[in-house]
Amino acid sequence: MSIKPTLINMKTIDARGKSCPVPLIMTKKGVAEAAADESLVVLLDNETSAGNVTRFLQDHGMEVHTQREGSTITLTVPRGGAIPEQTDPAAWCTPDPAGTTNYMITIKQNTLGRGNDDLGQLLIKGFINTLPDIDHKPHTIAFLNAGIFLTLHDSPVLEALKKLEVSGIKILVCGTCLDFYQCKDSMAVGVVSNMYDILDAMTKAGKVIAP
């Protein structure tokens, strides 16, 4: 976990000069990269993009403030930021409500544990299919190496992963691994990610579960 004190907790996405839908792609990436309490600032220079990005952020439950200065349109999404000095410490001790937990899962193979492969496949299937039913869900699941096979079209756990993704859990799939196994086109759930994003998520998570 980062222990560096951050005074201005803000991520800026400069999408000026980019035409639709690039600003949206940059915004989506920025949202994924930003910490949960990090405010977002998106800089744009055309109304169409501003409208679409605003809709996108609002559709994802974010509050958007718009400012115009010269040709620049600034969208601000305030998230956390202020140090909650007044907050009752007890509030910080209550368990996280579902969906706001601070742990992630990394899956690095398409089996669970070492031993018989058939058993391993059965176990990983059970593990992932059970995830949608548990109360404290991870905020992110990262798939690496042979783990990426679980995100493809023929995955036995595709439905569960899609359900998790719809409920707002980030599914990161290692792009290098997809390329290596030549199955980028078969990916059916999650976003193609890179080591920076995955490592970033791991370092920011309260704990990382690696079954």
Partner 1 sequence: MTPIDLLTTCDVGGCSAKLPAAGLARALEGLTATPHPNLLVGTETHDDAGVFRISDEVALIQTTDFFTPVCSDPYEFGQIAAANALSDVYAMGGEVLTTMNIVGFPATVPLEVLRTMLQGGIDKVKEAGGVMLGGHTIVDDVPKYGLAVTGTVHPERIITNAAAMPGDVLLLTKPLGAGVIMAGHRIGEVEEAPCRKVLESMKQLNRAAVPVMQQHHVRCATDITGFGLAGHAVKMASASGVTLKINIEALPVFPGTYKLLEMGCIPGACFRNREFTDPETAYPETISYEQKMLLNDAQTSGGLLICCKPDVAETMRAQLHAAGYPETAVVGEVVQESGYGLVIG
Of the residues 6, 12, 48, 194, which one makes contact with partner 1 according to CB under 8 A: 48
User: H or E element: which one contains 165?
Assistant: helix 158-166
Distances (CA, A) of 23 to 71, 87, 144: 16, 36, 28
191 binds partner 1 (CB under 8 A): yes
CB of 104 to partner 1, least distance (A): 19
16-45: which residues touch partner 1 (CB under 8 A)? 19-22, 24-29
11 binds partner 1 (CB under 8 A): no
> Which DSSP string corresponds to 35-96?
-TT-EEEEEES-HHHHHHHHHHHHHTT---EEEEETTEEEEEE--S-S--TTS-HHHHHSPP
56-115: which residues touch partner 1 (CB under 8 A)? 56, 59-60
CB of 24 to partner 1, least distance (A): 5
163 binds partner 1 (CB under 8 A): yes
User: From the centroid of its chain, how far is CA 210?
Assistant: 17
Is-contact 98 135, C-beta < 8 A? yes
Q: How far apart are CA 72 and CA 205, in angstroms?
A: 35
CB of 22 to partner 1, least distance (A): 6
176 binds partner 1 (CB under 8 A): no
- Residues lying near partner 1 in the complex (CB under 8 A) are found at 19-22, 24-29, 48-49, 51-52, 55-56, 59-60, 162-163, 165-166, 185, 187-188, 190-192
